[in-house]
Chains A and B, each alone.
Chain A
Amino acid sequence: MRAGAAIGMSALALALGGCATQSAVFHSLPPEHPAASNAADIARANTIAAEAGLAAKSTAGAAHGGPDAKQSESPPLLTPAYAPPLSTYDPWAHLNRFTYRFNARFDEAIFLPVANGYRRLPAPLRSGVHNFFGNLGEVDSLINYTLQGRLGRGVRSLGRFVINSTIGIGGLVDVAETLHLPKAPTGFGTTLAKWGMHPGPYLVIPFYGPSSLREGIGLAADYGTSYGINLADLYRSWQSWGLGVTNAVDQRASIDFRYYASGSPFEYETIRFLSVRKQLIEDAGLHRKRLPPKPNPNQPAGE
């Protein structure tokens, strides 16, 4: 523990000190894989084309009242009037701006360099780590899907956990994915949303990033749940710090975002705008059978 702290502090000193003096600073980044990303783009385009074909077919079927008609199952459509206003509710703006800046500086000095280092490790190793933490998350997903009353999804999480923990060697391999049981994590924040709780004020969480009060509560509860269950003594033993940091680095490495890559003085406003709308659309997706409440045009989005 003490050795870990010492290494951490030296890394911090290097990261912060290294940048300040030189006129040219180099950062070695993980290589790009253009051929593979193009192949992924082609696959996505094909999937979309196939989905669009299916959708056209079912719409045509529905229009003619044919056998494909699934009118009762398709969610009622939102009209543009359901879009919240352009302005965004942010009563804690002062604190949020401060936290956003803190996160940006922390990310630049420590988090991103470490994540970039991690990205250079062999892919099988990284996917092992990623799957391992994903598998631990299934326990929390199972509990929350149950609390949300989405038992089918809960069973899927349980199935994934059982398959991956056994055949998948303690969660290192996502065997369930190949068996057409894709990962669909959820948490207590989503449970609260499903129970009808409003997202609450926009909240930038230290180290974590843009979120909402409700999601903040959800994250704390999710951690509390994991800590309470303490699966395989992973959350309360001496190595739990190391595991937590590894998990955080793995998460960071999978997010393709860089603070102030926009270079824009309006980045805080832009990110807040997008984050709050993303949340509201996801909430509308939780209650597919009914329409969300119509926003008041005189109230900023998220109030």
Chain B
Amino acid sequence: MLQRLASTLAALCVSAAALADIAPMLPPGEPATGLADSAALRATVFGTPPQDIAPLPAKVPLLEMDLKLPWACPLPEVLWFDRRLRVWLSTQKRPAPLVIVISGTGSDGDTAKLSLLRAVLYGAGYHVLTMPSPTFPGFIASASSTGVAGDLLQDGHDLYAAMREVIAHLPRKVRVTDIDVVGYSLGGANVAIVKSIDAAQRGLDIHRAVMINPPVSLFATMGRLDKLYAVSLGNGDAGIEQFYQQLYAALANLYRASDRVQLDEDFLLGAAASVLKTDAQFSAAIALTFRIALSNVFFTGDLYSGAGVVTDPKHPPKVGDSLEEVARTLRGKSFAEYFTRIFAPYYMKRRSLSSVEELIAQNRLEVIGDALRDDGDYYALTNSDDLILDRAELEWLKRTLGSRIAVYDHGGHLGNLGERQQVADLLDMLSGRWTGRAR
């Protein structure tokens, strides 16, 4: 299957030169799709089929909390709308344990995936607090102490501080008996780090941490996604334009064949399955989603660190300035470029590191390997066909967590989130009932 995928991708590959600009930390022979096959790519794009979703409650109350955090950097003018950290809270009327849920790369604290997790956790009797990823621009502007996002330790400290602030401001009537953390994708790695920080600082007494489809090495994962972008969309605007033209034509044809008078959300949701069909299109869609998230991280990192790659540090963009040219430039900027031009210079100087390898090593889950191995309150749920992992990384997770990991055969990256068995296992892990049964 992977071979078929590779040949499809190769056919779409715009130029061999595109492969030259790949993150140096990725072994040359490794597939861009990690462990994913065709079904895994499809699952990653479309998510869990609605009929396979675990039972959900009829009604979930929702409260938004906006916080101003004292340690945030001065707010750049162009990010005026990101001045407050926004989190979402669903509380039970009686005393209950609280689960804090963190979203994935570049995502807000109110995504569809979080909404799904909120529903199953609230339905199981938890208070639920959902928070953005430390790589979400709203978090970077309102809660990051550096503005340069993506570092596992720094993001963990900022996230932990933000959690403490949120908990301190919870409405008085909310009675919390215990605190657990759950995160998906990058958020999985974030919550594991947060729990380890808490173990030292004892500020929240976080009980259990569950990682859903976490990365093991941030840079290997990002390198894989850079490579996926390069093989499915190429380096310049040509590949992205071609992909966009395909989607536009497919969507327009579908719309013209329908009886509709408006191109609304309902139509788009229905159309997705007929517009995205091939592995090459799935790959392009996944790569593009990450690239869009990266654009925001790149822009904010450049702005805050004063690196001057896409913005002029002496004349930062003002409210009302066109960012069209910047957005266009950023479409062509890979994670590797963010790493070499903004991230590494900033953190190597800050931590007085002598080599890039040290920084890469600090961004692997191995930094808390001992805790993951010895503390029985860390858990993980992942899939044997996740595109952000390779075999060695999956084996490391299994070896380190032992019986505290559930690995499903199918689902790709988050393509089985909310599925019945997965939710049952998640709830078992959170409540301590998990016995690590074989699957």
Residues of A within 8 A of B (CB): 19, 23-36, 38, 41-42, 44-45, 47-48, 51-52, 74-75, 77-87, 93-94, 97-98, 101, 104, 184-186, 190, 256, 259-266, 268-269, 277-278, 281-282, 284-285, 288
Do B255 and A282 touch (CB < 8 A)?
yes
Residues of A within 8 A of B55 (CB): 35
- CA–CA, A23 to B404, complex, Å? 39
Chain B nearest CB: distance from A225 CB in Å? 18
Do A266 and B256 touch (CB < 8 A)?
no
Q: Quick one: which of A80, A81, A264, A285 contacts B137, CB cutoff 8 A?
A: A264
Residue of B nearest to A279 (CB): B263
Chain B nearest CB: distance from A294 CB in Å? 12
Interface size bracket, B side: 35 or more
**Do A32 and B62 contact each other (CB < 8 Å), given the known contacts A86-B241, A261-B110, A266-B323?**
yes
Do B320 and A265 touch (CB < 8 A)?
no
Q: Would you give 17 A-B contacts (Cβ < 8 Å), ordered by A?
A: A24-B68, A26-B64, A29-B62, A30-B62, A31-B59, A32-B118, A44-B50, A74-B257, A83-B248, A87-B324, A93-B322, A98-B320, A263-B137, A265-B137, A265-B300, A277-B248, A285-B255
Residue of A nearest to B270 (CB): A48
**Do A104 and B81 contact each other (CB < 8 Å), given the known contacts A33-B58, A34-B116?**
yes
Chain A nearest CB: distance from B87 CB in Å? 10
- CA–CA, A228 to B68, complex, Å? 50
Do A281 and B252 touch (CB < 8 A)?
yes
Do B67 and A285 touch (CB < 8 A)?
no
**Do A266 and B295 contact each other (CB < 8 Å), given the known contacts A33-B58, A52-B274, A282-B262?**
yes
- CA–CA, A284 to B62, complex, Å? 40
How many A-B pairs fall under 8 Å by CB?
177
Do B270 and A80 touch (CB < 8 A)?
no
Chain A nearest CB: distance from B107 CB in Å? 9
Decide yes or no whether B200 CB sits under 8 A from chain A.
Answer: no
| Extra contacts besides A23-B67, A42-B51 (20): CB < 8 Å | A30-B62, A31-B59, A31-B60, A31-B61, A31-B62, A32-B62, A35-B57, A78-B256, A81-B245, A82-B249, A97-B320, A186-B261, A190-B261, A262-B108, A263-B138, A265-B296, A266-B295, A268-B323, A281-B248, A285-B263
Do B64 and A29 touch (CB < 8 A)?
yes
- CA–CA, A19 to B63, complex, Å? 15
Residue of A nearest to B58 (CB): A35
Chain B nearest CB: distance from A89 CB in Å? 12
- CA–CA, A87 to B169, complex, Å? 45
Residues of B within 8 A of A281 (CB): 248, 251-252, 255, 263
Do A83 and B244 touch (CB < 8 A)?
yes
- CA–CA, A261 to B137, complex, Å? 10
Residues of B within 8 A of A81 (CB): 245
